């Protein structure tokens, strides 16, 4: 896994090096050559407002938290730091510590001016009290916050992008803020060569929303004696040189920023061995997470197009490509690696195709397939509220979406059947994602009888009695509605829950009650209902089951839903010309 991360870093041109880091900066103080102040500028995509992460700089100077705290007094970052440090923004009456940090920042500019002369003018500009006041006034008018980062723009360029100061910086931080290294060389886990081990690894950022710390989390951390062995201190228990540690940390941070997707308490990141030529059209992972309903309907078609192009040899590049995927979260300052997957691009596309195919379900009004659900909607199908999903559950369903050979977990079927039953009892049509997930669970379970006979629409010939019992329930409910109209707590509210578990106890009673309802109808409707009920009863070639197990309850729910959808189809006419039976079941999602 770490080797693949390092290779991704090379592919992305990150060039990770101790003392440097990819950073995003939100503001620039704009100057003329020589340091004359011209104004301030917001960086990055300003149209995103508060969501704007700023402008990315590939090789900015960096000090870790322990380097700052263990370095010179009032030590600060070089060239880019918080506005509260660089301009004293938000400090109407700065204290001694605030002023000392501000002076330290300016002193670094002066020291580096020997290699990059333009930095001397920047330090002189910050020394001028009137100029500093003007800068802060402009920043406040622009909506800047004291904790937001700032750098300098001189003319059309940024000193932060220049390599002129790099060699000076390497020497300065090595002298004043050296990394904590073990006293004896050890075998580097990544390279296999001997090197002094880094005792505190670089932090992984971007996991604050999934249990991590705002300041970052460590992938390798040993801060308690119980986690240590052979008398080794800190991260010497997993020996990485400083170069190796940053070689995996920077690519992972970059992936979290670029491809990270939050999914019910976890963050998913992924990448490909070879960069995709058209990511918007060729990224199967994106189809799981993104897109409106129209785009979701196209996802399976896109997957099949890619598969066809790979198998015909049209896209040899995709055929030899591979994917890598991680599921991450944070806990107590540590990175939790919840899952790791890798495989061929072709297998990934086939799995996504299978995923959408198995989730496909008829619309509640019949006539065609419902929109394919995004992965978040599939997770939400199992619970009342998406916040109720636990990270291990999100990880499991995500893994099943990416690997078509994995059976869906039984808890997903149990929870979804329960939620679909609650939908019906409230008079609502179950969500498409719920019915699709029930169908997918049964199709992927090799021990579920009747799963292979399921299709998006009604299967009148389905061999399992549980499915036909669900159909009977739907017809009896529609029959009552046709005969009596809206009677409040009708057949569904009174009997559906019991019928879905103990059908023999309920369906016989409903068969007797149906005779009363049939007598209330006129025209061709009585004959239409009698014929439909008789055809369903004929397909139950054995006694009505006394009880249904979990898989059979899923079949019951699908039979009920698909029969209702079939009866709602505009083309489905009753025996009475121009009349369609009223199902009586609410159609709202």
- Asked whether residue 347 carries a pLDDT value surpassing 90, the answer given is yes
Question: In this predicted structure, what is the pLDDT of residue 589?
Answer: 43
- Asked whether residue 485 carries a pLDDT value surpassing 90, the answer given is no
List the Cα angle 583/585/589 in 5-degree steps. Answer: 130
Tell me whether residue 107 is in a domain.
yes
Containing domain of residue 540, as a range? 457-568
Report pTM.
0.84
- Asked whether residue 585 carries a pLDDT value surpassing 70, the answer given is no
386 and 372 co-located in one domain:
yes
| Structure tokens that stand for 549 in this block | 């197990």
Tell me whether residue 439 is in a domain.
no
486 and 349 co-located in one domain:
no
Of all residues in the chain, the percent with pLDDT exceeding 90 is: 56
Tell me whether residue 46 is in a domain.
yes
Binning pLDDT at 50, 70 and 90, where does residue 574 land? very low
Question: In this predicted structure, what is the pLDDT of residue 180?
Answer: 87
Pairing of strands 27-31, 37-42: antiparallel
| Structure tokens that stand for 574 in this block | 């009753």
Question: In this predicted structure, what is the pLDDT of residue 49?
Answer: 72
Closest CA to 77 of 57, 47, 53, 49: 57
Tell me whether residue 452 is in a domain.
no
- Asked whether residue 565 carries a pLDDT value surpassing 50, the answer given is yes
50 and 150 co-located in one domain:
yes
pLDDT digits (tens, 9 = 90+) for 185-237: 999 989 999 999 998 888 999 898 899 998 889 888 887 777 777 778 778 88
Q: Using CB atoms within 10 A of its CB, is residue 252 exposed (0-12), middle (13-18) or buried (19+)?
A: buried
Question: In this predicted structure, what is the pLDDT of residue 115?
Answer: 92
Tell me whether residue 430 is in a domain.
no
Question: In this predicted structure, what is the pLDDT of residue 586?
Answer: 46
Average pLDDT, stretch 141-167? 93
d(CA 468, CA 462): 7
What are the distances in angstroms from CA 427 to CA 508, 579, 582, 588? Answer: 23, 23, 14, 9
pLDDT digits (tens, 9 = 90+) for 394-413: 999 999 999 999 999 999 99
Binning pLDDT at 50, 70 and 90, where does residue 582 land? low
β-sheet bridge partners, residue 82:
149
What are the distances in angstroms from CA 4 to CA 136, 199, 317, 341? Answer: 45, 23, 19, 12
Average pLDDT, stretch 407-436? 92
Tokens 């079927």 found at = 413
206 and 309 co-located in one domain:
no
Average pLDDT, stretch 259-271? 90
Closest CA to 31 of 138, 122, 124: 122
Tell me whether residue 589 is in a domain.
no
The answer for residues whose C-beta is within 8 angstroms of residue 258's C-beta and 6 or more apart is: none
Least confident window among 249-263, 360-374, 392-406, 457-471: 360-374
- Asked whether residue 571 carries a pLDDT value surpassing 80, the answer given is no
- Asked whether residue 132 carries a pLDDT value surpassing 80, the answer given is yes
Least confident window among 251-260, 298-307, 428-437: 298-307
Q: Which of 96-100, 228-232, 370-374 has the highest mean pLDDT?
A: 96-100
Tell me whether residue 587 is in a domain.
no
β-sheet bridge partners, residue 330:
335
Better-scored residue on pLDDT, 7 or 70: 7
d(CA 29, CA 139): 9
Average pLDDT, stretch 366-373? 83
CB 401 within 8 A of CB 339: no
Least confident window among 3-7, 145-149, 270-274, 366-370: 366-370
204 and 298 co-located in one domain:
no
Tell me whether residue 573 is in a domain.
no
87 and 154 co-located in one domain:
yes
User: What value does the mean pLDDT of the chain take?
Assistant: 88
Neighbours of 546 (CB within 10 A): 9
| Domain count for the chain | 4
d(CA 16, CA 59): 8
133 and 243 co-located in one domain:
no
Tokens 């910086």 found at = 169
171 and 189 co-located in one domain:
no
295 and 364 co-located in one domain:
yes
- Asked whether residue 521 carries a pLDDT value surpassing 60, the answer given is yes
pLDDT digits (tens, 9 = 90+) for 273-312: 998 888 778 888 888 886 444 455 566 677 788 888 888 8
372 and 301 co-located in one domain:
yes
47 and 171 co-located in one domain:
yes
87 and 224 co-located in one domain:
no
- Asked whether residue 588 carries a pLDDT value surpassing 70, the answer given is no
d(CA 397, CA 377): 11
Average pLDDT, stretch 133-137? 94
d(CA 260, CA 427): 38
Tokens 């931080």 found at = 173
Specify the 3-state DSSP secondary structure of 85. helix
Specify the 3-state DSSP secondary structure of 165. coil
Of all residues in the chain, the percent with pLDDT exceeding 70 is: 94
């Amino acid at each position: 896994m770490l080797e693949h991360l390092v290779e991704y870093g090379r592919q992305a041109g990150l060039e990770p090096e101790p003392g440097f880091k990819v950073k995003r900066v939100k503001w620039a103080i704009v100057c003329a050559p020589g340091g004359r102040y011209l104004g301030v500028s917001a960086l990055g995509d300003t149209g995103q407002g508060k969501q704007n992460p700023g402008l990315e700089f590939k090789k900015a100077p960096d000090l870790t938290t322990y380097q700052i705290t263990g370095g010179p007094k009032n030590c600060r970052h070089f060239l880019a730091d918080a506005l509260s440090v660089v301009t004293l923004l938000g400090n109407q009456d700065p204290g001694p510590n605030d002023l000392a940090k501000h002076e330290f920042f300016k002193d670094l500019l002066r020291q580096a001016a020997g290699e990059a002369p333009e930095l001397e003018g920047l330090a002189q500009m910050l020394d001028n009290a009137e100029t500093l006041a003007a800068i802060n006034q402009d920043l406040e008018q622009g909506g800047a916050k004291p904790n937001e980062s700032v750098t300098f723009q001189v003319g059309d360029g940024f000193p932060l992008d220049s390599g002129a100061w790099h060699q000076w910086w390497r020497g300065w931080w090595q002298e004043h803020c050296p990394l904590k290294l073990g006293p004896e060389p050890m075998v580097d886990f990544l390279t296999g060569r001997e090197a002094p081990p880094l005792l505190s690894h670089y932090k992984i950022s971007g996991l604050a929303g999934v249990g991590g710390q705002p300041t970052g989390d460590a992938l390798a951390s040993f801060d308690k004696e119980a986690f240590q062995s052979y008398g080794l201190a800190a991260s010497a228990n997993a020996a990485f040189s400083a170069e190796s540690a940053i070689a995996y940390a920077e690519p992972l941070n970059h992936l979290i920023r670029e491809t990270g997707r939050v999914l019910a308490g976890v963050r998913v990141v992924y990448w490909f061995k070879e960069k995709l030529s058209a990511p918007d059209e060729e990224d199967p992972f994106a189809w799981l997470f993104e897109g409106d309903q129209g785009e979701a309907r196209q996802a399976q078609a896109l997957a099949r197009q890619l598969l066809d192009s790979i198998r015909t040899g049209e896209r040899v590049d995709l055929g030899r490509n591979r994917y890598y995927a991680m599921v991450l979260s944070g806990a107590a300052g540590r990175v939790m690696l919840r899952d790791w997957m890798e495989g061929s691009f072709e297998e990934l596309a086939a799995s996504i195709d299978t995923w959408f195919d198995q989730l496909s379900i008829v619309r509640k009004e019949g006539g065609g397939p419902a929109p394919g659900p995004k992965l978040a909607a599939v997770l939400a199908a199992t619970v009342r509220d998406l916040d109720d999903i636990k990270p291990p559950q999100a990880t499991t369903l995500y893994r099943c979406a990416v690997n078509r050979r994995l059976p869906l977990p039984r808890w997903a079927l149990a929870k979804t059947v329960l939620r679909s039953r609650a939908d019906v009892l409230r008079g609502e049509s179950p969500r498409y994602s719920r019915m699709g997930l029930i169908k997918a669970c049964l199709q992927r379970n090799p021990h579920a009888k009747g799963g292979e006979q399921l299709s998006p629409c009604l299967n009148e010939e389905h061999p399992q009695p549980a499915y036909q019992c669900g159909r009977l329930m739907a017809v009896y409910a529609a029959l009552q509605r046709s005969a009596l109209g809206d009677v409040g707590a009708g057949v569904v509210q009174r009997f559906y829950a019991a019928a879905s578990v103990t059908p023999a106890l309920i369906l016989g009673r409903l068969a007797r009650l149906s005779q009363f309802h049939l007598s209330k109808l006129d025209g061709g409707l009585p004959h239409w209902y009698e014929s439909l009920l008789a055809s369903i009863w004929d397909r139950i070639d054995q006694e009505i089951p006394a009880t249904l197990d979990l898989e059979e309850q899923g079949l019951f729910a699908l039979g009920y839903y698909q029969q209702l959808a079939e009866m709602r189809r505009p083309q489905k006419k009753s025996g009475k010309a121009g009349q369609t039976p009223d199902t009586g079941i609410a159609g709202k999602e």
